[in-house]
Amino acid sequence: MIAENLVGFENLPQTIPHYCFESFRRHNKRDALAFKIDDVWNYLNGVEVVERVKRIAMGLAALGVKAGDRVAIISENRPEWSFVDLAILSLRAVNVPIYTTQAVEQIRYILENSGAKMLFVSGSKLWKHAENAIQSVERLEKLIFFDADSKPEGHNRAISLADVEAEGDSYRKIDADIVETSLAAINSKDLATIIYTSGTTGEPKGVMLTHENFVSNIVAVSKGLPIRATDRSLAVLPLSHIFERTVFYVLCSNGVSIHYCSAFDQIASHLQEVKPTIMTAVPRLFEQVYHKIVKKGKAAGGWKTSLFEWALVVGQDYWAAKDNHRPVSPVLAAKHALANRLVFSKWREGVGGHLRFFVSGG
């Protein structure tokens, strides 16, 4: 049985772009993707996202990207990451994501080992970090910058994402069907990405994943979790991380509104503004949040600390019973209801007040 939000998807080609494009079109939500510039949240509807992705794909095709070519991305979380990812995959090319925190020598190794033809860079900060490694990779035909003003002057390989889109608009007059033809030719067995490990035990190792690998996860997770098209998510983990990238495809396919968080120091404010119902992170982040709550509760002093510590014990006892499928006594249930009203409700407000569930990876 397929998940409710994916009814009809089984008749689609089992590839990432087909699942995402169908969902963007089907739901066409006003806030399909959301991102913040300065103090203002900006929103893109589903149709706009598909059009933008196809324009970028058209531009990449005009620049010579073909099936099987490797195209790398090094960027913080932002909608351009997803646009470019889907554009690469729409051309049957292969996305090679690079962590923004990757050591310079490892960046050079990944670009050379993967045989990357082009590299997308978000802006000047990452360019300064990785410039020496990138400059030495002669195979790279183009360096494409998300931020046009970050493009280094006089660099003969450097262009902006806006330049790519302009190429796409021009190329449309020559071959308007090239992206649709490519989409129709994608096979579920086609290679979608090469993800390199951190390299803590030697050089990074490239893991090769197909469209089928991702789609099987989309379907399985959609069946297993109560994901709704009315949900809002906050993308915190880097999209270069396989967990967050898979989550993006799952949420996208289910019509969830996705809000990008580009830096960890923005999480607290974004939680209050977005009020997400779904959020994914790694255990370490949840541990940090928990320890901050406990530290604040214990520092309150007097009866407030006593109430906090009592509620903590009640919560642990209550959920230990739930997790182990034991009956909750009426007394424990009453204590938990009181602790929930006096203490835990404040915790939920601290993370936006609307989270239905966290998903932890790693």
pLDDT digits (tens, 9 = 90+) for 339-358: 989 988 877 776 666 666 66
Task: Give residue 263's pLDDT band: very low, low, confident or very high (50, 70, 90).
Answer: confident
Q: How many residues does the chain have?
A: 362
What integer pLDDT is reported at residue 199 of this predicted model?
62
Task: Give residue 200's pLDDT band: very low, low, confident or very high (50, 70, 90).
Answer: low
pLDDT digits (tens, 9 = 90+) for 84-128: 999 999 999 999 999 999 999 999 999 999 999 999 999 999 999
- What rounded mean pLDDT belongs to the chain? 92
pLDDT digits (tens, 9 = 90+) for 34-48: 999 988 999 999 999
DSSP assignments along 248-274, one per residue: HHHHHHTT-EEEE--SGGGHHHHHHHH
Entry pTM: 0.88
Task: Give residue 214's pLDDT band: very low, low, confident or very high (50, 70, 90).
Answer: very high
pLDDT at residue 267 above 90?
no
What integer pLDDT is reported at residue 41 of this predicted model?
96
H runs (alpha helix) in the chain: 16-27, 46-62, 79-90, 104-114, 124-135, 161-171, 178-185, 211-224, 242-253, 267-274, 283-299, 302-323, 330-339, 345-350
Report the percent of the chain where pLDDT is more than 70: 95
Give CA 63 to chain center in angstroms: 26
pLDDT digits (tens, 9 = 90+) for 120-154: 999 999 999 999 999 999 999 999 999 999 999 88
pLDDT at residue 255 above 80?
yes
